[in-house]
Chain A
Amino acid sequence: MKRREFLKKSLSTGTATLCTVAAAGSAEARENLKPKEDAIGMLYDSTLCVGCKACVYKCKEVNGMPPVQESEIYAWDEARDLSGDTMNVIKIYQDGTAAVKDSEVDGFAFEKRSCMHCVDPGCVSVCPVTAMRQDPITGIVTHHADVCIGCRNCMVGCPYNVPQFEYDDAFGQIIKCQMCNQKGVERIDKGMMTGCAEACPTGATLFGSRTELMAEAKRRMDLKAGEIYNYPRGDVRTPDSFHEKEVPEYKKHIWGETEAGGTNVLHISSVSFDKLGMPPLGDRSAASIAEGVQHSLYSYLALPAVALAGLAITVRRNTDDKEEEL
């Protein structure tokens, strides 16, 4: 019995030590990752969007995806959300009579759903293999099916519900926007812009470097409602054309500037983002907090070592008992 008590005590002490280590570790959690210097991204201005869905079509064309059919009317793509067949979709916010564009009350507004390309991506952090990666230069969050084990952790790790699984395919894969730069498409590497930004007739989806897009978004925040502004189309660095439009009453909020460490795809709008379905996110990225805990637990293989030791002891003890009985 004394031996047993000794073992019990030593085990509990070990656990307590482990907890202390974990606590200390989380206190020293790493900082959010910083935006890459040459990160590329997109700026989606909800007030410019006219709901033509040209970007939805272009996305499917570039990425070779079929349209989603939900009703008997085979008129056009009826995708309701991101799915294994859809990486980009235009959704609508409606209130009351929904008569006025970009009005929260009795109005409507469009919102684009596609990968936000987080600066500190949760999907990359939770991926147990290296199927989810962030490009070290462009900051594009990429998916590599050749390594993917299909655990779908990334779907849970994403605050925006972006990675989707092809459930209706026996050999389904994770599908997500890779800024038209995945193998076989490689539009960015070829010096082109994303399909959606190229198709957008109003510049609601604007392509460019994160730095320049952020500057453009801030410029729009500083405009007075009713002023005439020359909106660029295509690539913010080298716009192929401009169009003049009256400035709407922007909400002074650039989604993606700080949210969960920021995103490379920025959104601005005249309707608050909680109404546009954006999740409540703090400034800290989930990855930075979780990795702090996880990495301290696993540093120097401490947790596996302790667990293995515990298991070994238990097994040893049980085996000894049995042998004694026999």
Chain B
Amino acid sequence: MSGSVLEIKNLHVSIEDKQILKGVDLTIKGGEFHAIMGPNGTGKSTLASAIMGHPLYEITEGSITLDGEDVLEMEVDERAKAGLFLAMQYPSEISGVTTSDFLRSAINAKREEGDEIPLMEFIKELDETLDFLEIDKSMATRYLNEGFSGGEKKRNEILQLMLLKPAIGILDEIDSGLDIDALKVVSKGINKLRDENFGTLIITHYQRLLNYITPDYVHVMMQGRVVKSGGPELAKRLEAEGYEWIKEELGIEDETIEQNA
């Protein structure tokens, strides 16, 4: 089997009775890199959170399936075990739990009882990945995300992504708050995962991340919908011309959800 298929159809999502997504359609297959772009407040992060099952978001219409299985019927941890991963924009700080202990628990959660990862194998893999992402080894023994800088949190999310090896990785603004060196390292990590068994959805409102990661597909979100899709050239045009031309083309005056609610 080569790769999984994540299929989103007519997805409507609301938070506290406010409609945010108003019919999103998107299909991501193993081997494909998708980028979702769009100005702030158009529903990009809501899409990421809804796919993962954030407790505050309610799906009011539509479907999400992974290899035909109904994702919306799954608990958050079942979604993770089925192969979904969300690198979060604001990861929680977990006091008292070291990054290393947490990662081992997470890896073992996906494995059968009695088939836990041998400790030495885990340490070796962790060390190699820390080196690859140019993360100081001390992060392994620090409490997860506690007192981490913004950049450390993002690198830690990519560290988790690389060790947990999901079928579909969703990266929610992984580039925000990163300096150019950190951006390069994070991109290097994501590019290393590129193969036919890994699909990704990269959410960003800066084109600059896409200088380091070349997407196969680019989608633009406005008003809680995907309003335009294309290839990498679409990202280039957005970088050069901004979003105004799309709004004109589609007759959109205000692209955000806020004003449209």
> Do A and B associate with each other?
no
Which B residues are closer than 8 A to A by beta carbons?
A: none
